[in-house]
Amino acid sequence: MPVNALYTDLSDYYDLMCADIDYEAQSHCVHRLQQIFGNGGRRHLDLACGTGPHVRHFLDAGYRSSGLDINQPMLDKAALRCPEAQFSLQDMCGFSAGEPFDLITCFLYSVHYSGSIERLKACIASVHATLAVGGLFCFNVVDKSRIDNRLFASHSVAHEGSQFSFQSCWHYHGQGEAQSLRLSIERTCAGETQVWQDEHPMVAVTFAELQALLQPYFDVQVLEHDYERIAPWDQTSGNALFACVKI
């Protein structure tokens, strides 16, 4: 199966894999950040929107939301979940839009899918070009110098007579601008188990490098990766929420 099968052949399992994510809390936190730091406007674009769970919450909170993603099977699911939203098949490292946005989001570490520093720069430039002045670009990231390759997240869920186990971990070699996200999906049904392994190439950066890329364009706040409270990054956590206001 090709790399990134989770977003194509296995996309029916994506929402199950994310069943333990509190999308409502994440969306609400970013809405608060938009009110505190951004321009308060309601034109919203979600980059790498996947099956659209955040778009759903932003629509319900009164935003005029849209999403883009590079994989059509994900967008097909997003369109079913959010029939009133606009979705487009685009690369977040070179997208265009007909109107400016007040809020651009990129959740679940998806900004790392830009894959290289050059493409990350192109993503930041596209965001800057499509954001209204005072608008907010908000995303979460992991710092390559703080990745522990031994750590992983896992969860299990029963669905339509099958038992699913999902596992994910970051992997970084210790140098360079490439890291990967390794995923494993296990499905057991009537005593038979199928296993899929998926490895996703991603860009590796430090928070300091990322701040340097963003600062010419944005006023940057680095915050703790906590969707329940807004607090400055404690300088030790390996993941963080970036809130960037267009200057």
Ligand X SMILES: C[S@@+](CC[C@H](N)C(=O)[O-])C[C@H]1O[C@@H](n2cnc3c(N)ncnc32)[C@H](O)[C@@H]1O
Q: Which residues bind ligand X (CB under 6 A)?
A: 7, 18, 48-50, 53-54, 69-71, 74, 91-93, 107-108, 110, 113
- 136, 38 Cβ separation under 8 angstroms: yes
Instruction: Specify the residue, 49 or 222, whose C-beta has the smaller distance to ligand X.
Output: 49
Q: How far apart are the first and last CA of the chain?
A: 44
Instruction: Specify the residue, 133 or 184, whose C-beta has the smaller distance to ligand X.
Output: 184
Give dist(CA 218, CA 225) in Å, integer.
Answer: 20
CB of 11 to ligand X, least distance (A): 8
Instruction: Specify the residue, 45 or 220, whose C-beta has the smaller distance to ligand X.
Output: 45
CB of 50 to ligand X, least distance (A): 3
CB of 240 to ligand X, least distance (A): 16
Distance of CA 234 to the CA centre of its chain: 22
CB of 28 to ligand X, least distance (A): 14
- 94, 130 Cβ separation under 8 angstroms: no
**Residue with nearest beta carbon to ligand X:** 50
Instruction: Specify the residue, 26 or 236, whose C-beta has the smaller distance to ligand X.
Output: 26
CB of 113 to ligand X, least distance (A): 3
CB of 192 to ligand X, least distance (A): 28
226-233: long-range contacts, CB 8 A cutoff, minimum separation 24: 227/22, 227/25, 227/26, 227/28, 227/29, 228/25, 228/29, 230/29, 230/32, 230/33, 230/36, 233/207
Residue 219 in tokens: 């006023």
Tokens 């099958």 belong to 162
Instruction: Specify the residue, 71 or 188, whose C-beta has the smaller distance to ligand X.
Output: 71
Helices vs strands, H then E, count in the chain: 6, 11
Instruction: Specify the residue, 15 or 174, whose C-beta has the smaller distance to ligand X.
Output: 15
